[in-house]
A and B are shown apart, each in its own frame.
Chain A
Amino acid sequence: IIGGDEAPEHTIPWQVLLNIDGGRGGGMVIADRWIMTAAHNVKTHEGIIASNDTVRIYMGLNDVKALSVLPVYPASVHVHPEYNNPNHANYNNDIALLKLQEPITFQASIMPLCLPAESDTYVPDTMGLVSGFGVTDEGKRRILANKLKYVQLPLVEDETCQNSVTSLKRKRASIPILTSNMFCAGIPEGGKDSCQGDSGSGYVLYDNGRFWAAGIVSWGVECGKQGTYGVYTRVANYLDWIKKTMQEN
């Protein structure tokens, strides 16, 4: 998280820390057996899905140093079937679900995030909250955060986001495509953003006294840079797949 703050205990209880083959990622609790994350956390560009025993899940922590005393929750991996990103250029359908073998009991440090309701909408300029254990900034250096951080970011209008990506594409042809299954969040002046290691964490919106999962940290061009935005998977587009996957499993 760039430009954010450390999250006090129990403020972001849905946050999940993933460690997959040594790589760090995020996730969010959505039910007592289910974690939602980004597909690219558990499926390599070569199309290989992480085996169950390489996925390590941690919950209920704010400090990664306390990780050793926490239980690891064994889980199975369910990647969206249309996620296909061989050249780092297509993060469409960047969503996956992890099913825990045993249900968890919710408490102050672990609570689920709501899925989007039918009445929930993505209104530009609405402030959202993104969190994670990913890269942060300390002075001029980028370092990996060991404490959970968060930052408030506004939703960006689709056209603004598209213009930003198009502008960047003129300079760098390898920039991934922007699809209707994505949205952007961030500020034009930069300095606040999600970053590497935050992938899979939630971008959440607050409505009527509850937080709901609006997006999944997916990709972006650099982090916190002026004129760039973070790109997030639009969760509301995947409700049918989420429900189907949960019911069938």
Chain B
Amino acid sequence: CLQRPSSEPLMHGEVQSPQYPQPYPPNLQEQWDLSVPEGYQIRLTFTHLDIEASPGCYHDALIVLYDGKVVGRFCGSENSADGHHPGHEPIISPDNRFTLIFQSDKNNPERHQNVGFSAQYQAIDVDECSAPDPGDGSGPLCDQICLNTLGSYLCSCHHGYELRSDQRTCLLSCGGGIFDEPEGHLFSPGYPNPPPYAVSCQYIISVESGFTVSLNFSDLFYIESVDTDEGPSCLHHWLEVTIPDKEPMKLCGTKSPGLIDTNSNTVKLDYHTDDEGMSNGWSLDYSTHRVRCPIPDKVAKGRVTPMLTEYFYRDYIFVRCNQGYKLMMDGHEIESFSTMCQHNGQWHLTLPECHIIDCGEPEPLLNGGVTFISGVDNQYLSVVQYHCDEPFYYLLGGLNVSFICEADRQWRSNQDPLLRPTCLPVCGRPTKHLSSFQR
């Protein structure tokens, strides 16, 4: 009779002999395979054990096995002189498994009824980190730092190192990768000390388009160079700076490159040393600046705002026309104009022009007319004067009314802007009078 294995290992449980706490029957052979989750051990504690005692627990016994090997063979009862009682100390499994076998022979002493045993087990976490170096050359469980967790462990590395893909050993960190913050600090592994062995590190500075990267190397700069017939050469150790659309530049020697304006939003740095020689490395601060756009041209009869000495990426400018002028773009009038400095250093729209407005033809006057006094083509500030067909009509409100083309494209009178000129008939005044000289 085998205990059916459960699908998921339990964290704790109880095991009892058959019919416990009644006396166990003879001729028994019963087995329990205990297991807890991996990363845990089993702590087995007997709450009661009363098994017929015999020398070496030969007749009836509870046998505890691990991996087929007997860990303990128990019988008797607490305080009995014979048998082998486990006492109150728990039994710990080497890993997450234990096997218990309870057996009884065919004879049971009639004068004494043994009840068997009752035991509890629970999972206890294994401290993998305390495991000794196996000494087989494979090294300790973790190269540098071991962190025990429930049921498992984690390896970690000291600052300046990074965990290898085996999740166990540590590697000197290049500190490489992609840097996309607007400013930052980069340095070669171990800087200002030389790295322990050959390194091949790549650093990519990539910020938003519309910004340019400037590299500012610190004074302490040392990358081994080799003297050749053609001068110093970055033969074995180098730092290669790659800017898009430009030839890569290999740096070495003891003189810091200082400030390098890349005029690009991406820069790639490849640092290489071999197993030999000595390079202390380098360190730099990088910063970013917005792309500059050209100073906009002047707009005749208008103005560009704001007027700045320099314009950068994402700066907006507006164009406004002087009073009496309108914004024109591609032959069409526009209500307003603004343009933005783009990431490529160009304004996204060309500047418009300011054209003088016109009020259109002044309204004709019934039984009258309109005369241009000054101005051109009904343009801004042109002046017209209305008159009526005299002597048959006269202008309501005055002899002559002047209208000026205003900035709102309306012809307006300086006398009463709301009064539309009107010609009223003249009554009772013939052009010829009856003459009678005869008395």
Please list the residues of chain A having a beta carbon within 8 angstroms of any beta carbon in chain B: 7-14, 30-32, 105-108, 111-115, 129, 150, 152, 204, 209-212
**Can you list 26 residue pairs at the A/B interface with Cβ under 8 Å?**
A10-B432, A11-B432, A11-B433, A11-B434, A12-B430, A31-B425, A106-B389, A106-B392, A106-B393, A106-B426, A107-B392, A108-B392, A108-B431, A108-B432, A111-B392, A111-B427, A111-B428, A112-B427, A113-B427, A114-B427, A150-B434, A152-B436, A210-B429, A211-B428, A211-B429, A212-B427
Q: Which residue of A lies closest to B432 (CB)?
A: A10
Q: Which residue of B lies closest to A105 (CB)?
A: B367
Q: Which residues of B contact A129 (CB under 8 A)?
A: 434
Distance, CA A210 to CA B425, complexed state (A): 13
Please list the residues of chain B having a beta carbon within 8 angstroms of any beta carbon in chain A: 367, 389, 392-393, 425-434, 436
Given contacts A114-B427, A114-B428, 20 further A-B contacts (CB under 8 A): A7-B434, A10-B430, A12-B430, A13-B430, A13-B431, A106-B367, A106-B393, A108-B432, A111-B426, A111-B429, A111-B430, A111-B431, A112-B426, A112-B427, A113-B427, A113-B428, A129-B434, A152-B436, A210-B427, A211-B429
Distance, CA A32 to CA B393, complexed state (A): 11
Q: Which residues of A contact B429 (CB under 8 A)?
A: 111, 209-211
Q: Which residues of B contact A115 (CB under 8 A)?
A: 427
Q: Which residues of A contact B431 (CB under 8 A)?
A: 10, 13, 108, 111
Q: Which residue of A lies closest to B367 (CB)?
A: A105
Whether the Cβ atoms of A11 and B430 lie closer than 8 Å is: yes
Among A152, A211, A212, chain B packs the most CB atoms within 10 A around the CB of A211
Q: Which residues of B contact A11 (CB under 8 A)?
A: 430, 432-434
Q: Which residues of B contact A13 (CB under 8 A)?
A: 430-431
Distance, CA A209 to CA B392, complexed state (A): 14
Minimum CB–CB distance for A229 against chain B, Å: 22
Among B392, B425, B433, chain A packs the most CB atoms within 10 A around the CB of B425
Are A111 and B434 also in contact (CB < 8 A) when A105-B367, A106-B367, A106-B393 are?
A: no
Q: Which residues of B contact A12 (CB under 8 A)?
A: 430
Q: Which residue of B lies closest to A106 (CB)?
A: B392
Checking B389, B428, B432 against A210 with a beta-carbon cut-off of 8 angstroms, the contacting residue is B428
Q: Which residue of B lies closest to A109 (CB)?
A: B431
Minimum CB–CB distance for A79 against chain B, Å: 23
Distance, CA A113 to CA B425, complexed state (A): 10
Are A8 and B432 also in contact (CB < 8 A) when A112-B427, A113-B427, A114-B427 are?
A: yes
Whether the Cβ atoms of A106 and B425 lie closer than 8 Å is: yes
Distance, CA A211 to CA B393, complexed state (A): 16
Q: Which residues of A contact B428 (CB under 8 A)?
A: 14, 111-114, 204, 210-212
Distance, CA A13 to CA B428, complexed state (A): 9
Distance, CA A114 to CA B428, complexed state (A): 5
List of 7 A-B pairs having minimum Cβ-Cβ separation, nearest first? A210-B428, A114-B428, A114-B427, A211-B428, A106-B392, A10-B432, A112-B427
Q: Which residues of A contact B427 (CB under 8 A)?
A: 30, 111-115, 210-212
Minimum CB–CB distance for B439 against chain A, Å: 13
Q: Which residues of B contact A30 (CB under 8 A)?
A: 427
Q: Which residues of B contact A114 (CB under 8 A)?
A: 427-428
Minimum CB–CB distance for A148 against chain B, Å: 11
Q: Which residues of B contact A152 (CB under 8 A)?
A: 436
Q: Which residues of A contact B425 (CB under 8 A)?
A: 31-32, 106, 111-112
Q: Which residue of B lies closest to A205 (CB)?
A: B428
Q: Which residues of B contact A113 (CB under 8 A)?
A: 427-428
Distance, CA A108 to CA B429, complexed state (A): 10
Distance, CA A150 to CA B426, complexed state (A): 22
Distance, CA A11 to CA B393, complexed state (A): 17
Whether the Cβ atoms of B434 and A8 lie closer than 8 Å is: yes
Distance, CA A9 to CA B434, complexed state (A): 10
Distance, CA A113 to CA B433, complexed state (A): 14
Minimum CB–CB distance for B367 against chain A, Å: 6
Minimum CB–CB distance for A185 against chain B, Å: 17
Minimum CB–CB distance for B391 against chain A, Å: 9
Distance, CA A205 to CA B433, complexed state (A): 13
Q: Which residues of A contact B426 (CB under 8 A)?
A: 106, 111-112
Distance, CA A7 to CA B435, complexed state (A): 10
Distance, CA A4 to CA B431, complexed state (A): 21
Distance, CA A16 to CA B3, complexed state (A): 135
Q: Which residue of B lies closest to A110 (CB)?
A: B392
Are A211 and B430 also in contact (CB < 8 A) when A32-B425, A107-B392, A111-B425 are?
A: yes
